[in-house]
Structure 1
Amino acid sequence: MSQMHSQDWDPKSDAVLRDQRAACDEMRERCPVAYSDLLGWSLFRHEDVVRVLNDPETFSSVVSKNLSVPNGMDPPEHGQYRPVIERYFAPHAMRAFEPQCRSIAADLVHSLCGRVELELMGDFAHPFAVRVQCAFLGWPASMHEPLRLWAQKNHAATLAQDRPAMADIAREFSGYVMGLLQPRRDAGVSGNQDVIGSLASEQVNGRPLNDEEIISILRNWTVGEISTIAAAVGVVAGYLAEHADLQRQMRKQPAMLPDAIEEILRLYGPLLANRRVTTRAVEIGGRTIGAGERISLNWVAANRDGRVFSDPKSFRLDRDASANLLYGAGIHFCPGAPLARMELRVAVQALLDGTTGIDPIAQRPPTSAVYPASGFATLPMHIKFETQPINHP
């Protein structure tokens, strides 16, 4: 049972929303275990976050009444579903999907040709995330716009904590899945064996996955993939636009791009936090947290912790990335990390290959995303191609 506590901070205050990274850095040093009515107990230090990730018996991932496969499960149930999920992100699957991913990214960049300015989030990052997710799942192009709008509504309802709207949005997604799943089931083994069709033939504990489990898996993939990939593409592109020397280096040395992406995203996390709930009373950072209380793991603050990362606010290509919590740690390490890494590499590489320069627009600064999102809401940019259009008076 959650207890009554006084607030140490307000994650939705104007001061926090103006600069979430600075606010998280400040909390890590001032009050590393902090209570808020919105999030419960927030943990900001790398050491405390890693402790939680490596102790699923004390810090449960079952934080919602809704089924969440497998990230909202604890052992042993988590271990029964995890192998089913991991197969879809195996190296051979990523190699097979990469050419299609490259084509999507290249087509989007080509569609920008002739432009002088763009709003990168709306013109590239979000369309890329939606199209590549549909392609990965084997969903038709007709799903691009419904899925984009659904992701927007889901974010707005989560921000407002509008429970009735969140329930309606969940039902809407279930309808999309069932509309695609049933024809594949009717077709049987001779039908379309894309991801959704393949999930219909998966088994756990000697029985096929049921509809609720399939919907949960696809919802987790879709919510996480679309929002986080779009945010990450924006963060990386925005950083390269602001740091011309690094942008030039990445154009000349594309093999270094994966390391650069990991370090940029360590500095400017595309995902703010993740949740747990305590199964017993525990002490963290001198604070006593009772059983059944909510825990929020602040990825942004943990990945900028100077106790773990020397000169943590500086970009360093030679940094040891083993402590980077970009994809989590422990048994719940993100199973989709191989897909995310490939998609980010391909998207940023297409943007660099298809242009001769991306630069910020001084008169139109970017706007930051707000909780629960991170990164940019809008990201205006100058974009240069090999041959720029002639601007007639």
Structure 2
Amino acid sequence: MTSDTPSRDNPAPHEPQSYEWDPRAPEVLDNQIAAYDALRARCPVAHSEQMGWSLLRHDDVLRAATQTRTFSAVVSKHVAVPNGMDPPEHTVYRTIVDRYFTQEVVDAFEPACRAIAADLIAALPRDKPADIVNDLAEPFALQVQSAYLGWPERLREPLREWTLSNRRATASGDRAATAAVAEQFDGYITGLLDERRAMGDAAPDDLTTRLMKEQVDGRVLNDGELVSILRNWTVGELSTISAAAGIVVDHLAEHPDVQSLMRAKAGSPATLDDAVDEILRIHPPLISNRRVVAEPTQIGGRQFEPGERLTILWASANRDEDVFGDPNEFRLDRPREDNLLYGAGIHACPGAPLARLELRMLTQELLAATGTITPDRGATSQYASYPASGFAELSVILGSVTEG
């Protein structure tokens, strides 16, 4: 692979404006963030068979995320409510979804969320290696997701296995495998919906039961719509929250100065939220989303025509040096709107208030229950591979709280 421009902003007209790359190359899978940094330095857009055209820079990603007439979110023949819809259809369903993530609804979940975090952290070993991925990040995501939606405990392990299967199928690019995994999830959820309907008025008054009563065009949501909404919430919770939890713990262990700052500010929700957001800008927990070009347009010096597939790489855009300077520098004075952690435009993550609450509860409880958090130098951390982010393996030492 060769550089396509002599500089970022002044490409030579006789040289190509794109760059072929392999998202499944070992060096990319070993450290996605570093690979995207290197790719972004070489070209504005990059092409691969798996991802189509990848957008790497902050301004291009922001444009693709916010200009819905030019960049369509309808990327699949399968229904995806509402993240795979464009206006005006998107507006109708997004209005419904937003009701489940209001600040009032999210705040009511705080005691249950804090209790889940505290119980998991209390069970972790002190002063010896703790397995953060398997014993904290993944079970935390599973338990808070189930509790928020009112799902039974018996679904936790199947959903954990499903998340792993979904990652493997997505990474393989095997459409048959992806379809089989989707069908498996549909079976879990339709079974749950059938149970609720059979219970009638005795069904629990939780968010899932409430969602089943929502209407569009004078009719209740059908199973396809319900499953799509719940799948979207579940993938976001189980994959992104578990990745984010591991990333935050790793950053605290590797950066004592940031850990000290967050311990001092643990009682300030706003400061803690900003600190977590900044950690997750440095190491994004969500890699990408897809779009399809709907109108002729130019990006990075290349002409794009309707129907061309795009991948917007949040994990690259949120580290763009033109916006953030040194992308690895932790700073709390950055404009919040520059951070694309939760996306942008009409498709910005509706669950952002819930995600911030969950990560704040986890961080507060972890800091309160430990005297120190340090790296486990006797273990080798392993980054997660696409489509996941964060860590596949992570071990740290949680120091006991000392008296006085």
TM-score class, shorter-chain normalisation, is over 0.9
Classify 1:7/1:323 alpha carbon distance in 2 versus 1 (closer, same or farther; 3 Å): closer
Letter of the structure 2 residue corresponding to residue 66 of structure 1: H
How far 1:32 moved relative to its partner?
1.3
Question: Would you say 1:52 and 2:64 are equivalent positions?
Answer: yes
Aligned equivalent of 2:279:
264
Q: Over residues 243-269 of structure 1, what are the superposed CA-to-partner deviations in whole Å (9 max), with x where a residue is unaligned?
A: 112212211221232111011111110
Q: Is the 8 A contact 1:80 1:205 kept in 2?
A: no
State the distance in 2 between where 1:188 and 1:142 align: 21
When the two chains are superposed, the root-mean-square deviation of aligned CA atoms in Å is 1.7
User: What is the percent sequence identity of the aligned residues?
Assistant: 52
Aligned equivalent of 1:312:
327
How far 1:115 moved relative to its partner?
6.3
Q: Is the 8 A contact 2:18 2:44 kept in 1?
A: no
Question: Would you say 1:342 and 2:357 are equivalent positions?
Answer: yes
- Larger CA deviation: 189-198 vs 313-322: 189-198
Letter of the structure 2 residue corresponding to residue 73 of structure 1: M
Classify 1:258/1:6 alpha carbon distance in 2 versus 1 (closer, same or farther; 3 Å): closer
Letter of the structure 2 residue corresponding to residue 293 of structure 1: E
Q: Over residues 60-105 of structure 1, what are the superposed CA-to-partner deviations in whole Å (9 max), with x where a residue is unaligned?
A: 1011111100000000000010110000000110111111010100
Aligned equivalent of 2:367:
352
SS at match of 1:65: coil
Question: Would you say 1:182 and 2:197 are equivalent positions?
Answer: no
Q: Is the 8 A contact 1:240 1:246 kept in 2?
A: yes
Alignment equivalent of 2:312, drawn from 288, 292, 297? 297
Alignment equivalent of 2:80, drawn from 57, 68, 75? 68
State the distance in 2 between where 1:123 and 1:343 align: 16
Alignment equivalent of 1:33, drawn from 32, 38, 45? 45
SS at match of 2:209: helix
Alignment equivalent of 1:97, drawn from 90, 98, 109? 109
1:199-348 paired onto structure 2 within 5 Å: 199-254=211-266, 255=268, 256-348=271-363
SS at match of 2:321: coil
Aligned equivalent of 2:21:
9
How far 1:15 moved relative to its partner?
2.2
Aligned equivalent of 1:391:
none
State the distance in 2 between where 1:119 and 1:318 align: 33
How far 1:155 moved relative to its partner?
0.9
Classify 1:183/1:14 alpha carbon distance in 2 versus 1 (closer, same or farther; 3 Å): closer
Letter of the structure 1 residue corresponding to residue 394 of structure 2: L
- Relative to the length of structure 1, the TM-score reads 0.94
Q: Is the 8 A contact 1:119 1:379 kept in 2?
A: yes
Q: Is the 8 A contact 2:371 2:402 kept in 1?
A: no
Letter of the structure 2 residue corresponding to residue 71 of structure 1: N
- Larger CA deviation: 265-274 vs 245-254: 245-254
Letter of the structure 1 residue corresponding to residue 214 of structure 2: E
- Larger CA deviation: 235-244 vs 273-282: 273-282
Gaps of 5+ in 1: 389-393
State the distance in 2 between where 1:381 and 1:199 align: 40
State the distance in 2 between where 1:290 and 1:330 align: 22
How far 1:200 moved relative to its partner?
1.1
- Relative to the length of structure 2, the TM-score reads 0.92
Q: Is the 8 A contact 1:360 1:381 kept in 2?
A: yes
How many residues are aligned here?
384
Letter of the structure 2 residue corresponding to residue 105 of structure 1: A
SS at match of 1:307: helix
How far 1:7 moved relative to its partner?
6.0
How far 1:6 moved relative to its partner?
8.7
Classify 1:188/1:115 alpha carbon distance in 2 versus 1 (closer, same or farther; 3 Å): farther
- Larger CA deviation: 310-319 vs 348-357: 310-319
Gaps of 5+ in 2: 1-16
SS at match of 1:308: helix
State the distance in 2 between where 1:189 and 1:332 align: 34
How far 1:226 moved relative to its partner?
0.6
Aligned equivalent of 2:132:
120
How far 1:360 moved relative to its partner?
0.7
Alignment equivalent of 1:156, drawn from 159, 162, 168? 168
Q: Over residues 289-336 of structure 1, what are the superposed CA-to-partner deviations in whole Å (9 max), with x where a residue is unaligned?
A: 221011000112111112222333211122222211001111111111
State the distance in 2 between where 1:220 and 1:28 align: 29
